[in-house]
């Protein structure tokens, strides 16, 4: 039940409450179970006790050193062609959806005219299939001359003239995943070529590499080759994804070389694919969450919002959870035909603010309760984001009761907080005391995303 903050309730009749502050499954920061019997007159003592307990808990594992290129201090935001346009080379039959200069110029125009840039989506990124099948006579990669008649430099100029940044794709091995020339043996030349062209981000794939050692060495080498060019180039890796089948990745080490890194399979335009990514992330959170931070992020792959495979509620779930996971927000959709509803979701300022929160801590799954999953993310200014997903795929909306004391390691609402629902629709949910409960309703496969702001007992102002 919603309990509006009311100072007189602090001195009401004695009331016996069972408070269970649980940081359960996979909260990497704190593994405690506190069960307390409180009277309302004992609440202040309870608060003090909880703070004492929390003071004894390691507040966070220190983050590993990040790649020192000053980039990706918040998760990268932009557009990436792969999931929506894949490797469409047929510009005769499908001039509007083949991988061509025209596609990227149109997207650049729309990123500016339709508010994407203003919302924070800055990087316009080319994925696989931009290259000509052969390197040039000096060993440099070249764009397909028919599909990119002005080459990458002209496209980069165009993108820059719009105030955007350009991303490109290459591969650490002998060939890209789609069979175009790989960078193995050409790391320095390719890094310099990208810098000369004015590229601002490199997605470096891991197909067709002969050994795990060459894979690791190649990712490291390319990191320093990019650095040596002197140009600021965000380095987006897939190193752990290709390592995982053979060896547990060392994420602390990867963070020293990459600005973000994919660990899990390619996203598809389907609910099953989004669920697989979420389930993998929660199952691995003890390994990956503490590694993320300014300069280096876990990358659960592209946003597929605005395409064909996700229902409205599932799109809400992707947006909410990508914000909780501090994920790079790289949309792969068609900005020329996106629905106003999907656009509003992708441009939701408050949700983007959670994704881009300056504290830079990735969220985690706090608990699974039947078909409900509760996730939380610490934010700057002692605020928290809370996401509750209804994973039941039969029936209608279900109610879930949040025990306020369980949020934010027991302190998000101590002694009180103000809660705003951001998704699926924005609603002020008012003031809540530490000991109260909040009942929400969630559609099947949907998510309710909340922002919790701490308030002091007496002043009702931000602490």
Question: Among 96, 114, 217, 266, which one carries the catalytic annotation?
Answer: 266
Name the minimum Å distance from CB 458 to ligand GLA: 52
Stretch that binds ligand GLA, among 57-65, 173-181, 371-379, 433-441 (CB under 6 A): 173-181
Q: Is 266 a catalytic residue?
A: yes
Q: What whole-number distance in Å separates Cα of residue 44 and Cα of residue 29?
A: 25
Between 177 and 346, CB nearer to ligand GLA: 177
- ω into residue 402 within 30 of 0, thus cis? no
Q: Which of 82, 85, 158, 204 is the binder for ligand GLA (CB under 6 A)?
A: 82
Name the minimum Å distance from CB 266 to ligand GLA: 5
Does 178 participate in binding ligand GLA (rule CB under 6 A)?
yes
Between 51 and 265, CB nearer to ligand GLA: 265
Between 29 and 280, CB nearer to ligand GLA: 280
Q: Which of 224, 289, 214 is nearest to 257 (CA)?
A: 224
Stretch that binds ligand GLA, among 136-144, 170-178, 314-322, 409-417 (CB under 6 A): 170-178
Q: What whole-number distance in Å separates Cα of residue 74 and Cα of residue 159?
A: 21
Q: How many residues bind ligand GLA (CB under 6 A)?
A: 9
Name the minimum Å distance from CB 361 to ligand GLA: 26
Residues 243-282 that bind ligand GLA (CB under 6 A): 266
Does 238 participate in binding ligand GLA (rule CB under 6 A)?
yes
Task: Say if residues 104 and 126 touch (Cβ distance below 8 Å).
Answer: yes
Helix or strand holding residue 123 (H, E): strand 123-125
Name the minimum Å distance from CB 461 to ligand GLA: 46
Does 177 participate in binding ligand GLA (rule CB under 6 A)?
yes
Does 128 participate in binding ligand GLA (rule CB under 6 A)?
yes
Sign of torsion, CA 333 155 356 273?
positive
Burial class (CB in 10 A: 0-12, 13-18, 19+), 174: middle
Task: Say if residues 297 and 75 touch (Cβ distance below 8 Å).
Answer: yes
Between 84 and 391, CB nearer to ligand GLA: 84
Question: Among 127, 144, 205, 357, which one carries the catalytic annotation?
Answer: 205
Q: How far is CA 431 from the centre of its chain?
A: 29
Q: How far apart are the first and last CA of the chain?
A: 24
The residues facing 22 across adjacent strands are: 33
The SS3 assignment for 314 reads helix
Catalytic residues: 205, 266
Binding region for ligand GLA (CB under 6 A): 82, 127-128, 176-178, 205, 238, 266
């Amino acid at each position: 039940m919603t309990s509006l903050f009311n100072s007189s309730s602090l001195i009401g009749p004695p009331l016996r409450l069972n408070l269970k502050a649980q940081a359960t499954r996979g909260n990497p920061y704190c593994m405690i179970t506190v069960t307390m019997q409180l009277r309302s007159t004992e609440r202040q003592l309870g608060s003090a006790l909880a703070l004492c307990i929390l003071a004894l808990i390691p507040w966070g594992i220190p983050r590993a050193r990040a790649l020192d290129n000053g980039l990706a201090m918040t998760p990268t935001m932009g557009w990436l062609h792969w999931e929506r346009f894949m490797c469409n080379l047929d510009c005769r039959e499908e001039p509007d959806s083949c991988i061509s200069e025209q596609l990227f110029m149109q997207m650049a125009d729309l990123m500016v005219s339709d508010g994407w840039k203003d919302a924070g989506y800055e990087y316009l990124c080319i994925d696989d299939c931009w290259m000509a099948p052969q390197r040039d006579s000096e060993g440099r990669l070249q764009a397909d001359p028919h599909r990119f008649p002005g080459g990458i430099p002209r496209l980069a100029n165009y993108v820059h003239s719009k105030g955007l940044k350009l991303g490109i794709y290459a591969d650490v091995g002998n060939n890209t995943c789609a069979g175009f020339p790989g960078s193995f043996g050409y790391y320095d030349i390719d890094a310099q070529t990208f810098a000369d062209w004015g590229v601002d981000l490199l997605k470096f794939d891991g197909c067709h590499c002969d050994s795990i050692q060459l894979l690791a060495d190649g990712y490291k080498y390319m990191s320093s080759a990019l650095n040596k060019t002197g140009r600021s180039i965000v380095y987006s890796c897939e190193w752990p994804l290709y390592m995982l089948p053979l060896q547990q990745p060392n994420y602390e080490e990867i963070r020293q070389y990459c600005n973000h890194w994919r660990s899990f399979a390619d996203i598809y335009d389907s609910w099953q694919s989004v669920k697989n990514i979420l389930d993998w992330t929660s199952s691995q959170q003890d390994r990956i969450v503490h590694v993320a931070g300014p300069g280096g992020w876990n990358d659960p792959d592209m946003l597929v919002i605005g395409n064909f495979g996700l229902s409205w509620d599932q799109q809400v779930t992707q947006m909410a959870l990508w914000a909780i996971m501090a994920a790079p927000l790289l949309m792969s959709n068609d900005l020329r035909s996106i629905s106003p509803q999907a656009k509003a979701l992708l441009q939701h300022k408050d949700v983007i603010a959670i994704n881009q929160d300056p504290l830079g801590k990735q969220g985690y799954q706090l608990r699974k309760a039947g078909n409900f999953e509760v996730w939380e993310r610490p934010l700057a200014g002692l605020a928290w984001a809370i996401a509750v997903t209804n994973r039941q795929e039969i029936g209608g909306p279900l109610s879930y009761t949040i025990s306020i004391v369980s949020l934010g390691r027991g302190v998000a609402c101590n002694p009180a907080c103000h809660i705003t629902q951001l998704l699926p629709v924005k609603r002020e949910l008012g003031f809540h005391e530490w000991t109260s409960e909040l009942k929400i309703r969630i559609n099947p496969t949907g998510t309710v995303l909340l922002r919790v702001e701490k308030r002091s007992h007496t002043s009702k102002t931000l602490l």
